[in-house]
Structure 1
């Protein structure tokens, strides 16, 4: 995975902008792209909202265009456990969780992770942070505001049998598994574990 910041006045795709990255530059538009490259394919998969596959040559053209400034960021290892003692995740931890899950992890929800809250699966203990509910990779998941409230104030619960896999239990006891696979692009895949008609989304 390669992560780059590009500044340009015109951009062919409607990518998510990072205007704060452009502070101090005379002109241009700050953009962050998340490109997954396969050495055996002429295409790259973009994790930006509204984008999917794009020719690697197109990315190269963006980077080489006159007036663009390109900054390469270090790759974030999605399999590394990142931890902070604070309640609020660090920028790196936030980005790691967003890249791992891509969308709200509630069954059938497709809201992009960058517009979600980060939920502590085990609640953070404000009085004694060492007691549990740490702000760490394996204890965080993106939930849109609606489903974050659903998880917090209703009987809906979830477990994470492995990173990026979420097993939800509804108030009636029905269970759903939410996963993300490359063959599904950015969108999560929801399956009902109990093989009965699914509940309606709250």
Structure 2
């Protein structure tokens, strides 16, 4: 890029076109996070000896990041929909694992429940049937498996491709809007501080 084409300033543009572009970029970033988590989960699962906190942390972050793009915002709009995901599939159907991932997100992120174990309190009895102790038992919930991780990654990758196209189109809308603004209108916008990029 020639020096005279380099931007000398960046102006903040608010409005529906900008909000839409931001939502798409946030969704893309979330789904990229899913891909990064899945890349790290496969070897972490291979090394898991039970109770691996790295697996739990990566999987929980992947679930949160996967669900957020499908969530409806304050304006009642989602960055992507289940229908969008279905359209990326060879058979045009929504994968059953999509709803499962959303359910697991709710389970793993429940504010007042332990997602790892189901606990039960019991009364222990002696040979005569009298209570002689309190027993707390637990059943560990199943951990994520490699197939689920790979499926989550595949769906996130397909949605990233879709979002990449939408981001390009949304950028063009914002660009066209900006080109139609007068120098005075541009000067009235807040300036955004941008760190210089080393050559």
TM over 0.5: no
**Which structure's residues are more often strand, by fraction?**
1
Task: State the TM-score, normalizing by the size of structure 1.
Answer: 0.23
Task: State the TM-score, normalizing by the size of structure 2.
Answer: 0.23
Q: Which entry has the higher C-alpha Rg, 1 or 2? A: 2
Which structure has more relative contact order (CA 8 Å, sep 6+)? It is 2
